[in-house]
Amino acid sequence: MQTDQHSTKNVWNHYVYTRKIPRDVLRESIQRAWQRCDQVGASPFIMQARELTSAQAKELFEREGNLIQAAKPYMQALSQAAGDERHAAMLGDRNAVVIDVLGDEESVSGRQRVPGPGALLAEQQAGANGIGSPLAEGGYIELVGSEHFIEGFHPFTCQGLPLTGPNGEIAGVLSTSVRRVEASHRIREILYCAAHGIEAELIRRQLSMELQQMLGGETNDALLDRIQQDMVQMHGAARLRLEKAIRLVRANRHAEVTQLVEVANQLITRFRMQSQLWREIASAGTEEPRRHDLAQHAREMAALLATEAAVRGLDVVVHGTEPVPVHVDRRELQRTLFRAFLRAFESSPARSTLRIDVANDEQLALGTIRFSTAPDVIVAIDQKPRQFDSLRIGSFVIDKH
């Protein structure tokens, strides 16, 4: 539904005098936000201002320092994309408290400035807005002018979406606020990409610590360094494309912007998938055994270790396009495959082709992976729907416990 500011203002006036919200006039997300505001008794006229004390703010900023640092370059990117527009890029914590703001001087420090760090913008205090509403809605929301519940926010067009942390938890919220709705259209794609970039950076930071813990005692520092460099380069490539897209936004070359943002998002998605795989390898945790495709996991592991294979001069080829279903703890499977791949790499001559065959052994009800340049390295995964005590890899056993 397109936003008609005249009719939306009429709906707001109607609500002010009747405390009733007409149906099927507002956009669905705005309707839900207003209903939530009405239920908690938010005032449509006055923001129930609540700001943290200096001590509380200092403690919050220290606690959220990792998020603030991860978000800073992306907030700068959003601010640059807005160009000469009156604007603010805002970062909130998971409780809708503002923890960082970037923008033009008037929007950040002027008489009509946006709420600054330490301000609580939950819907109960601040009505429907670009910080509190995405958290309450659980997803992206845009509020144009009088779609804001509180009259004082009507000059603004705000967009926001929640940020997901490395473990799937809500880590915070990223929002933009501009004076002209046309400007919001220009930066919407950048906002999405920036949010995904922040999430990827949070994963990268945690992944780095976990890899140090897991790999430091099991393999050489050179491998660890190559893994980290590979991930940093992938993440950096996405950042570079986003920065180029911002320059094109300001030049009104929107078709090229869309293409660059799409490529950046693809790189970030790949980074997130590979980061998640690394984190699961590094984790000592377990999961309930479930059905998984052994062939797919082998292909993912080969992609994950592509840089390591290249350093060793190996051309890795995975054969087997048919699914190989196995009933297994996914995390243990990934850790087992990781060790098996590294052993196969170490056993293979440099500048050779490492053939990896994934197949079913129907007689023994096993899924198998064979490395042809290291025939003694065989991974056999039980396909039966039951738990097992160990995974056999060639002549040695990795216990579950």
Task: List, for residues 332-344, the tens digit of each pLDDT value.
Answer: 888 888 888 888 8
pLDDT at 190: 80
Task: Assess whether pLDDT exceeds 90 at residue 32.
Answer: yes
User: When comparing pLDDT for 264 and 129, which is higher?
Assistant: 129
* pLDDT band at residue 137 using 50, 70 and 90 as cut-offs: very high
Between the alpha carbon of residue 275 and those of residues 128, 267, 280, 281, 294, the distances in Å are 35, 12, 9, 10, 19
Q: Any idea what DSSP says for residue 327?
A: E
Task: Assess whether pLDDT exceeds 50 at residue 248.
Answer: yes
pLDDT at 96: 96
Token readout for 56 is 């509380």
Average pLDDT of 379-397? 38
For every residue of 68-134, which 3-state class applies, written as one string? HHHHHHHHHHHHHHHCCCCEEEEEEECCCEEEEEEECHHHHHCCCCCCCCCEECCHHHHCCCCCHHH
pLDDT at 231: 61
Instruction: Burial-class residue 337 by CB neighbours within 10 Å (0-12, 13-18, 19+).
Output: buried
* pLDDT band at residue 150 using 50, 70 and 90 as cut-offs: very high
5-186: CATH homologous superfamily? GAF domain (3.30.450.40)
Per-chain mean pLDDT for the chain: 79
User: What is the spatial distance between Cα 258 and Cα 19, in angstroms, rounded to a whole number?
Assistant: 42
**Residue spans per domain, the chain:** 5-186, 290-399
Q: Is CATH 3.30.565.10 what the domain over 290-399 is classified as, yes or no?
A: yes
Of the candidate ranges 99-103, 148-152, 283-287, 354-358, the one whose mean pLDDT is the lowest: 283-287
For residue 117, what are the contacts with CB-CB under 8 A and spacing of at least 6? 57, 61, 98, 99, 100, 101
**Best-predicted range by mean pLDDT (133-137, 187-191, 232-236, 247-251):** 133-137
The long-range contacts involving 1-5, CB below 8 angstroms and separated by at least 24 positions, are 1/27, 1/28, 3/27, 3/144, 3/145, 3/147, 3/181, 5/144, 5/145, 5/146
User: What is the spatial distance between Cα 336 and Cα 341, in angstroms, rounded to a whole number?
Assistant: 9
Provide the angle, in degrees to the nearest 10, between the axes of the packed helices 65-82 and 181-215. Answer: 150
* pLDDT band at residue 263 using 50, 70 and 90 as cut-offs: low
Q: Any idea what DSSP says for residue 349?
A: P
Task: Assess whether pLDDT exceeds 80 at residue 15.
Answer: yes
* pLDDT band at residue 34 using 50, 70 and 90 as cut-offs: very high
Token readout for 391 is 């995974």
Task: Assess whether pLDDT exceeds 80 at residue 270.
Answer: no
pTM of the model: 0.66
CA dihedral 271, 274, 278, 281 (to 10 degrees): 160
Residue 77: beta bridge partners?
none
* pLDDT band at residue 131 using 50, 70 and 90 as cut-offs: very high
C-alpha 208, offset from chain centre:
16
CB atoms within 10 A of CB 285: 9
pLDDT at 304: 79
